[in-house]
Amino acid sequence: MRKWSGILARPRMATVVLVAAATVPAEPAGAQEFAPQDTTGTAKTGSEFLIPMGSLFLPGLGQFIYGDRSSGFAYGASAVAGYGLYSKSGTLFDSGDLPRDTDEQVGTSGLFLASGASYLSAYDAFGRGVRDHQREGEYAFLTDRAEVSDLFTAPFDPGFLGRWTTWANLAYTGVITGIVLSDRERDASYEPFRGRDVGFAAALSLSAGIGEEAAFRGWLFPLFHETFGERFWLSNGLQSLLFAAGHIGGARKFSGVIGAWAFYEGWLTRRNGWSVRESIFHHFWYDMAVVIATLVTDERPRVALTFPTIRF
């Protein structure tokens, strides 16, 4: 398969977030980082970065720290189930090559499920901490932050079709999809496109669209914005740079375009009162279009017959 699938976000991109650690000011030394939940409104040590980061690599951690065991178990169980499907399939994920085998598609979907649980756990943990920070006068700009439950309905909210910002993104999606489809040749033989491929595309698009918007535009962007004194160009530029860096391995020359798109989605997030729901709508349908186009242009392996040389 050609390497168009690298345009998509990758689950391994989570490691790129570690770069953000250098931008976050140190917390006071004497505080108890994992102290039990209190009702004083005092923000926990590590609530902006360390607890969400821990939740990224151990889904459910932040929820347990804040005393919400049911949510913590749900995130953790989702990640375990996803990694279980991935391990059982024996698939070795390659961000530049989407699988066509049923078992491999299930395994890859499981990996994206696990990464989505990680991203959402981090987003949720950050949101819980932000409430206390706002009582202390911080993050005053976060006026319309969406709850996790509201993120899942975003890809199917028809209300976004009434916004010019959505149509601008759909035009961009159409251009990229057209570029992918332009590789299709008349005399080439392609893998058949099956109904399960649509389900596979939807599974990847839901996990990446919801999870990555939550992590990059819903957590890191407002974190940078607060840390850098609400300097929009700096904070948005940094989150989009990190987002693009996570795609370099698969997207290659498209990573710069992806970074520009991430900057646009960051601008849109701020415009929407820091809600990432419209960006999720954009991300989901972009991924759906690109994944399907990639699968449609997947050539069959060429078989070359080599005959021995016969000397007379």
Residue 14 located in a structural domain? no
Q: Tell me what pLDDT residue 26 has.
A: 45
Residue 34 located in a structural domain? no
Cα 174 to Cα 170, 188, 289, distances in angstroms: 6, 24, 8
Q: Tell me what pLDDT residue 114 has.
A: 97
Residue 231 located in a structural domain? yes
Q: Give the position of tokens 């975003």.
A: 154
Number of independent structural domains in the chain: 1
Q: Tell me what pLDDT residue 294 has.
A: 92
User: Cβ-count burial of 297 within 10 angstroms (0-12 exposed, 13-18 middle, 19+ buried)?
Assistant: buried
Residue 13 located in a structural domain? no
Q: Tell me what pLDDT residue 32 has.
A: 34
The ranges of the chain with pLDDT < 50 are 2-5, 7, 9-12, 21-22, 26-39, 304-305, 307, 312
Residue 56 located in a structural domain? yes
First to last CA, the chain: 42
Task: Read off the pLDDT of residues 260-297 as tens digits, 9 standing for 90 and up.
Answer: 999 999 999 999 999 999 999 999 999 999 999 999 98
Residue 64 located in a structural domain? yes
- What tokens appear for 238 in the block? 């940094």
Q: Tell me what pLDDT residue 302 has.
A: 57
Residue 108 located in a structural domain? yes
Residue 2 located in a structural domain? no
Query: How many whole angstroms separate alpha carbon 242 and alpha carbon 232?
Result: 15
Residue ranges making up the domain that contains 151: 19-26+39-296
Task: Read off the pLDDT of residues 206-236 as tens digits, 9 standing for 90 and up.
Answer: 999 999 999 999 999 999 999 999 999 999 9
Q: Tell me what pLDDT residue 92 has.
A: 78
